[in-house]
Chain A
Amino acid sequence: EAGVVQSPRYKIIEKKQPVAFWCNPISGHNTLYWYRQNLGQGPELLIRYENEEAVDDSQLPKDRFSAERLKGVDSTLKIQPAELGDSAVYLCASSPRGDRGIGAFFGQGTRLTVV
Chain B
Amino acid sequence: DQQVKQNSPSLSVQEGRISILNCDYTNSMFDYFLWYKKYPAEGPTFLISISSIKDKNEDGRFTVFLNKSAKHLSLHIVPSQPGDSAVYFCAASALRSQGNLIFGKGTKLSVKP
Partner-B contacts on A (CB < 8 A): 4, 33, 40-45, 48, 55-56, 91, 93, 100-109
Contacts and interface: CB of A to CB of B under 8 A. Distances in A.
Contacts of B104: 42
A42 B46 contact: no
A103 B103 contact: no
A43 B51 contact: no
Interface in B26-84: 32, 34, 36, 41-46, 49, 51
B13 interface: no
A103 B91 contact: yes
Q: Majority SS of interface residues in chain A?
A: mixed
A45 B43 CA distance: 14
Interface of B: 4, 32, 34, 36, 41-46, 49, 51, 89, 91, 93, 95, 97-106
Residue of A33, A48, A104, A105 most packed against chain B (CB within 10 A): A104
Contacts of A55: 98
10 nearest A-B pairs in the assembled complex, by CB-CB distance: A42-B103, A106-B43, A103-B34, A101-B49, A100-B99, A106-B44, A100-B32, A108-B43, A103-B46, A43-B103
A35 to B, nearest CB: 8
A71 B93 CA distance: 27
A89 to B, nearest CB: 9
A92 to B, nearest CB: 8
11 contacts: A40-B105, A42-B106, A44-B103, A101-B32, A103-B32, A103-B46, A103-B91, A104-B101, A105-B46, A106-B36, A109-B43
Given A44-B103, A55-B98, A108 B42 contact: yes
B27 to A, nearest CB: 15
Nearest to A101: B49
Nearest to B51: A101
